[in-house]
Amino acid sequence: MYNSIQGGHIEVICGPMFSGKSEELIRRLRRAIIARQRVQVFKPGIDSRYADDEVVSHSDNRLSATSVASPSQLIEQTHYRTEVVGIDEAQFFGPELVGVCERLANRGVRVIVAGLDLDWRGEPFHPMPELLAVAEMVTKSQAVCMVCGHPAAFSQKLSGEAVQVELGSSERYEARCRRHFEPEERRQLELLRAREEARRVPTRDDDSPVA
């Protein structure tokens, strides 16, 4: 469908963690490369979980990328002949990203953006809502709930600090459906304490003598 849009435009791929957002971004960008279009890929410098110079999906699909500290640096490093720009983990950029994407689209660039639409509290993760509003095409991906196996639209935080931005993967987050999503900070802390206490409980060998 997105190939039928002519000229510059914005595509947004959003959803929770583990929903295949980066995978889909990489797929679209590779198709553009196969079509011999001039492609540049960017990622926020804050995200160094897997690689500094690659976009990496959770299934270990990789594509070379340039790390930038800000949206202004992104547009400065976009070559004037570039036809397609890919941006991963867009939620880690500030509100300036919206204007940068529109400037690129207005000059004829196809801009493909991937990012979390909700944070671990279940609240909008800016600037994604603003990007969704101005995009010509939006793809909402879903993950699999790690509790019941149903489609999941939320990112459950399992450990860490009560801050919006905290990098991590499956050791810190998991996908949840609405029924099993626990966004309240108090509940999050209760779950964390329960897990920590469970780890401290010594296991007893069935063959050991009972006192």
Q: What is the pLDDT along the chain (211 residues), one digit of tens a residue?
A: 445 576 899 999 999 999 999 999 999 999 999 999 999 999 998 776 667 788 887 667 889 999 999 999 999 999 999 999 999 999 999 999 999 999 999 999 999 999 999 998 899 999 999 999 999 999 999 999 999 999 999 999 886 555 455 554 556 789 999 999 988 766 666 666 776 777 776 655 545 444 4
Query: Quick check: is 161 catalytic?
Result: no
> What count of other Cβ atoms lies within 10 Å of the Cβ of residue 95?
11
What is d(CA 112, CA 161) in angstroms, rounded to the nearest whole number? 31
State which H helix or E strand residue 128 sits in: helix 128-134
Q: pLDDT, tens digit, for every residue of 19-49?
A: 999 999 999 999 999 999 999 999 998 776 6
In terms of C-beta density within 10 A (0-12 exposed, 13-18 middle, 19 or more buried), how is residue 79 classed? Answer: exposed
Q: What pLDDT, on a 0 to 100 scale, did the predictor assign at position 196?
A: 74
pLDDT mean across residues, the chain: 85
Determine the pLDDT at residue 205: 53
Overall pTM surpassing 0.85 (yes/no): no
- Tell me the β-bridge partners of 115: 14
Q: Which residue among 89, 123, 182, 196 is the active-site one?
A: 89
Compute the radius of gyration of the chain from its Cα atoms.
Answer: 20
